[in-house]
A and B are shown apart, each in its own frame.
Chain A
C-alpha cells in the first residue's frame, strides 16, 4: 500500500459520488423496510371473493395447476343430490360418468348412511377448474372451494392467476396463515 497516494480531484469526485450512492441505496432500503413485518408472503384464494371463472386451471405457470379444490367438511350437507357432484338435470343420482360435473372424476362420492354421502377430492386428479365449486356455491352450502396448495405453488413474485383473476380474489397472505379454508376462516366485515 502506497503511503503517500495522491488523492486528486477525480478521486474526490468518485469518493463523494460513491458515498452518495451508498446513502441513496441505504435510504431506499430503509424506506422499504419501514412497513416490513419480517414475514414472508404466499398467495391464496379468498373463497368468498372467487367467482369460479375457471382461470385457475389454465393460468397457473405450473401444469397441472397448483390450485386444487378443497372440501370444508364442516359446512357440507352430505346431500344425495349434490350440487357440486352432479350435473344439473342428472339422469340418475349415482356415480355414473355421465352424471358428474367434474371433468376428471376427481370428486369421489361415498355412501355413509341413509341419506348421507361423503364427497372427497382426489387431489392427484383435480385440475382446479372450479366447476364443482360453481355448482356447490349456487345450489349447495358452498363447502367446496378452490385453494392454492403450497406444496405445489412456486410462490412466484407475481401470481400469473392473480393477474387475470376477474374478481381479484387471489391475495398475499402471511406464510404462517397460508390457507383461507371456509369454516376455519370466516369472512371479516371489511374484506
Chain B
C-alpha cells in the first residue's frame, strides 16, 4: 500500500514539476466580461515564387546581355540593360542576394552538412559562371548591379600602368581565399559585410559603409570599375571561365584595320595590343626564364600555404567562439564587468569554459588546415601570373583580353569596321 502511495505522490510531483517548467508564474486569468484575446500578427516574408522570379529575371538579363554583346553587337542595348539591372537587382532587390556573395553560401554548404543552401543562391552562383564559360563576361556587362553602378559613373577614365594592374590583381584572389576560408569555418560572410554598394542600394547604411561606398563611387569616376577590377572575388572565377570561353565578344566583325580606336575607348585597359612584326624569336634566355618561373610555382604554393597556415591565430580571432575564449583566458577579470554582453551571456548560459576552449581549438584547427589551402591557392595564382608575364604570345590584331574584358561593348561601338 505505502509503495503505491509513494508512486502516486511521485507522479503528482512530476506533473507539478512539468507545470512549473512552463514558466507560468502568474496563471492565465479567466475573464468574466466577454473579453476577446487578440493574437500576435505574423506578417509573411517574401514568397518563394518571387525568389524564383528573381532567378528567371537573371536568366533573361544574362541571355539579353549575351545577345547584345555577341550577336546584335549593340552597346546601347548593354547600356540600357545595365540600367535595368541597377534598378531591379540594385535598388529594388537592394543588392541581396547577389552572385558575389553566393560564393560563401556554396562554400559553407560544401563544408557544413547542417547548412542547406537555397536554390536561388545556388542558381545565382552557377548561372553567370556557365554563361561566362561559353560567352565571356557578359554577366559583368549587363547583369551585375555592382558593375552597373560603377560603369554608369565613369567620367574620365585613367589608364593604369600594367605593373599596377597586375599587382592589384592579386587583391581579389586574396579576398576570394579569405571569403571562402571565413565562410567554411562558419566565422562570417565578409563579402556581404564589406560590400561597398549595398548601403547605397538600401539607401540606409552605417557611417563607415557610407564612406566606403561613396569613396568607391568617386574613385570609379576616374579609375573605371575599381571594385570589379581590383576587389571582386567572383571576378576571379569569371576571369578563369572567360579565358576558356567558347565564344567571346569580338571588336571587329571581320578584319582589324589597326586604327586603335578601340584601345582608346576601353576604360579598363582590357584590350591587348598586337605584337611587333619583327619581335625576337624565343631563344635560350627565354626558355631558361620559362623553366625557372615554372619551377618557382611550387615554391610560391608552399610559401603561401605556410604563411597563411601560420597566421591562424590572428585569422581565427574573427570567430566568435575563439574571440570569447581568448578574452576569458587572457582577461579573467572581465567576468566581473557587467557591461560586457558577450561574457555575461556566456556566464548565464550552461556552457563551461572548458567546452568553449575546446570549441575554439577545433575552429583554430580548421583555420590551420584551411590556411594551407588558401595560401597555396594564392601562391599558385601569383606564380601563374608571374609566369604569364614572361610567356610570349604572338598577336596579330587588337583583341580583348579574354580574362579581363567585361564585354561592355564600348570597343565594338567605336570600331569603324561594320561588316
Contact = CB atoms under 8 A, between A and B. Distances in A.
A61 interface: yes
A95 to B, nearest CB: 19
Contacts of A142: 23
B349 A18 contact: no
Interface in A140-160: 140-142, 149-151, 153-158, 160
B391 to A, nearest CB: 13
Contacts of B342: 166
Interface residues of B, number: 64
Contacts of A167: 345, 349
Contacts of A178: 42, 44-45
A118 B46 CA distance: 31
Contact of B346 (A41, A77, A149, A166): A166
B29 A166 contact: no
A130 B362 CA distance: 33
B26 interface: yes
A150 B119 contact: no
A35 B27 contact: no
A63 interface: yes
A131 interface: no
Nearest to A163: B188
Q: Which of B35, B40, B110, B240 has the most CB of A within 10 A?
A: B40
Contacts of A99: none
Contacts of A35: 109, 113, 116
A118 B31 CA distance: 12
B389 interface: no
A112 interface: yes
Given A33-B122, A116-B31, A155-B46, A25 B129 contact: yes
Given A42-B45, A149-B43, A156 B192 contact: yes
Contact of A179 (B42, B94, B125): B42
8 closest residue pairs by CB, A with B: A77-B26, A166-B345, A150-B45, A151-B43, A158-B189, A18-B244, A32-B109, A53-B341
